[in-house]
Amino acid sequence: MSDQILKYGFWFIALTLAQILIFRGIAFGWGDQYYFQVLIYPLLILIMPLNFSRVQIMLIAFSMGLIIDLFYLSPGVHSAALVFTAFIRKIVLNLMEPRGGYKVNSSPTLYYMGMNWFLSFSAILIFLHHLVYFSLEVFSFQFAVTIWLKTLFSFLTSYLFILAIAVILNPK
């Protein structure tokens, strides 16, 4: 267990620092709107081990989101979206459970679950995270088209970066 704590503690620090120091500056758009934002930090919630409880993962998500909120100067938007992602993760895992079930000590990563399964799993969670994030960012249905455009474009860019990290580092 302490091995897992060190491993995912490293992932927590690495993804948080990468989001704050590198990906915070990557935002493209036109006018006063940024439609392409790269948000890679939800990857941690995706790859957390299956033997972690929902509450543990939600506490980790809240901590990570709070740190990112401090640097983005956003009042709880990242925290709320990441906690939502941590909450919905169990539901998505149950819907996508393979016939033989999951191995208790494994993680839902590319290494353990395979490319097709991981592509679907990560796409669902990243898209839902982005939809909640951008909905909370404007907090008004008056901007529904903007929310959907930001969600779609940011999902595509973030998803490419997350897949690249998952393939290159292939967390076990």
Model confidence over 20-43: pLDDT tens digits? 998 887 776 665 667 788 999 999
Nearest of 67, 45, 11 to residue 125 by alpha carbon: 45
CATH number of the domain at 67, please: 1.10.1760
Rounded-to-integer distance, Cα 131 and Cα 147, Å: 7
Other CB atoms closer than 10 Å to residue 70's CB: what's the count? 12
Model confidence over 44-96: pLDDT tens digits? 999 998 888 999 999 999 999 999 999 998 889 999 999 999 999 999 999 98
Average pLDDT (8-18) is: 93
The residue segments making up the domain with residue 47 are 2-169
Q: How far apart are the first and last CA of the chain?
A: 15
Total structural domains in the chain?
A: 1
Q: Which residue has the tokens 């409880």?
A: 53
21 phi, psi to nearest 5 deg? -85, -30
